Amino acid sequence: MMPKLANHITPEKIEECQRLIDTSREGFFDDIDPILTSLRNMTVSEKLTDKQTEAMGAAAADIQSHASLFGYQLIAALAGQLTALLASPRFEGERKARLVKKYVEALVMACQQRINDSGGAVGALILKDLAAATAK
Amino acid sequence: MMPYTVKPLNRSAPTLRIDKIQVLVVVGGERAANLIKSIFEQLGFRNLMVAFDPDEAVAMMKEVIIDLVVTDAEIRAAALHTDQEEGAPAEPEFISGVELVRHLRTSPTSPNPYVPVIMLVNQATVKTILSARDAGVSEMVLKPINAADFCMRLIHVVDHPRAFVTAETYKGPCRRRKQTALHPGQKDRRTREVILHRHTHRWQNGTF
C-alpha cells in the first residue's frame, strides 16, 4: 500500500496553518505600512528613474499578491494595476509619474480605511476613475 | 569471532518522505511567498523554493527536479520569451499563472510537462476555471486562502494524482473527475506511458 500524505496532515496541523493565515491577515495593514510610506516618498519626484520604477513595481506586486491571498479585492486591484502601469512602456516621464501618484494615493487611502473587500460602489468608482485617467 | 546475527528483512510499508518533496512556490511578492512557505513548513515540507516570475520559475525547474508547483493566477512579469521573435523589444505585461502552466505542459523546452500544479485563483468564474483546467492545472485553490481547502487540494494532488493525457489539443492531467466507461469505438487518450508516470512520483516509490 502506498504511503499517504493524508496520514501526515492531521487536523491539528490544519488548525495551526489556519492560525498562521489568520495572524498574517490580522497584521496585513500594519505589515504593509512601511511599503506604502516608501511608495509615497518615491512619488514626490516629477519623473521616475528606472531604479525607482523597479523598486515601486516590486513593492506594488508584493502588496498585490499578499492582498489577493486574503481576498482584499480593491487593494489587490489597485496594486495590480499600479504594477502593470509601472511596467508598461506606453507611459513615460511626467505623465507616468502623475498617474503613478494617483494610484499610490488611492492605494494609501484604501489601506488607511482598511478596506478588506471590493470596496463596493465606491471601490468600483475609484477604479473607474483611475482607468479613465490612464486611458486619456 | 564476532557473533553471527541475522538482520530481519524490512517488510514495513514504505514511508512518505514529505521533507524530501521539492516544492516551487510562484507568487508575485515576498510576503505572500513567506505565508505559503510557512504553511508548507507547518505541514512538514522542508524543500521549498520561491520564484517571483514565470521566467525565474522555469529557470529553477531546469536546475532542480521540482515535484510540485504552487502558483498564483496573477504573476508580475515580462511574458515568457520563448515565442518572441529575436530582436523584438520585450514588452512587460501581466502574465497569468495559466500561461505559465500552458508553457510547462506544452512547450518543447518545458523542464517538466508532468509536474503537478496547484493554482491559487481569485474568482470562481466559469471562464477562470475552464481556462485553468484547459491549460493543465491539476488543482485550484480559491482565494481567500483557507487552510482546510489548501490541504485538501494538496492531499488530492499527492495521494490521488490523475492520469496524464497527451492529445493534439490538450496536454495535462485528465480533466474527467469521474471515471466513466468509454463509449463504443471511443479511444482512451490517456497513454500507457503517462498512466505509468502517475505511479512513479518520487515521493511514492522510495527513490530518495
Domains and CATH numbers, chain B: 18-80+92-160 (3.40.50.2300)
Over residues A98-112, the pLDDT tens digits come to 999 999 999 999 999
pLDDT mean over A89-98: 88
Residue A8 in domain: no
**Model confidence, pTM:** 0.84
Contacts A–B by Cβ distance under 8 A: 125
What separation, in Å, do the N-terminal and C-terminal C-alpha atoms of chain B show? Answer: 36
Q: Percent of chain A scored above 90 by pLDDT?
A: 76
DSSP string of B179-192? --PPPTTPPP-B-H
Strand-pair category, B117-121 with B68-72: parallel
**Residue A118 sits at the chain B interface (C-beta within 8 Å):** no
pLDDT mean over A57-71: 94
Residue whose C-alpha cell is 481556462 = B131
C-alpha cell at A44: 514626490
Q: With a cut of 0.85, is the ipTM above it?
A: yes
Name every residue whose Cβ is closer than 8 Å to that of residue B114 and which is 6 or more positions away in sequence: B164, B194, B197
Distance from the A22 Cα atom to the nearest Cα atom in chain B, whole angstroms? 9
Residue A2 in domain: no
Domain count along chain A: 1
Range of the domain at A119: 28-135
**Residue A17 sits at the chain B interface (C-beta within 8 Å):** yes
Q: At what angle do helices A73-87 and A50-69 cross, to 10 degrees?
A: 160
pLDDT values of chain B reduced to their tens digit, one per residue, 208 residues: 556 666 555 555 567 789 899 999 999 999 999 999 999 999 999 999 999 988 899 999 999 999 999 999 988 654 443 344 444 334 444 467 899 999 999 999 999 999 999 999 988 889 888 999 999 999 999 999 999 999 999 999 999 888 888 888 899 998 876 666 666 676 666 554 444 444 445 555 444 4
Strand-pair category, B74-78 with B68-72: unpaired
Q: Do A15 and B147 touch (CB under 8 A)?
A: yes
Contact list, A16 vs chain B (CB under 8 Å): 42
Burial of A110 (0-12, 13-18, 19+ CB in 10 A): buried
Contact list, A116 vs chain B (CB under 8 Å): none
**Residue B125 sits at the chain A interface (C-beta within 8 Å):** no
Which pLDDT score is estimated for B29? Answer: 92
Q: At what angle do helices A73-87 and A120-135 cross, to 10 degrees?
A: 10
Residue A72 in domain: yes
**The total number of residues written for chain A in this structure:** 136
Q: Measure CB to CB from residue B144 to each of A20, A62, A71 and give the nearest one.
A: A71
Q: At what angle do helices B97-106 and B54-63 cross, to 10 degrees?
A: 40
Over residues A38-49, the pLDDT tens digits come to 999 999 888 899
Nearest CA in chain B to A31: B31
What SS3 class is residue A116? Answer: coil
Residue A55 in domain: yes
Residue A32 in domain: yes
pLDDT band at A23 (very low <50, low <70, confident <90, very high): very high
CA distance A5 to B204: 10
Which pLDDT score is estimated for A131? Answer: 87
Which pLDDT score is estimated for B6? Answer: 60
More confident site: A69 or B167: A69
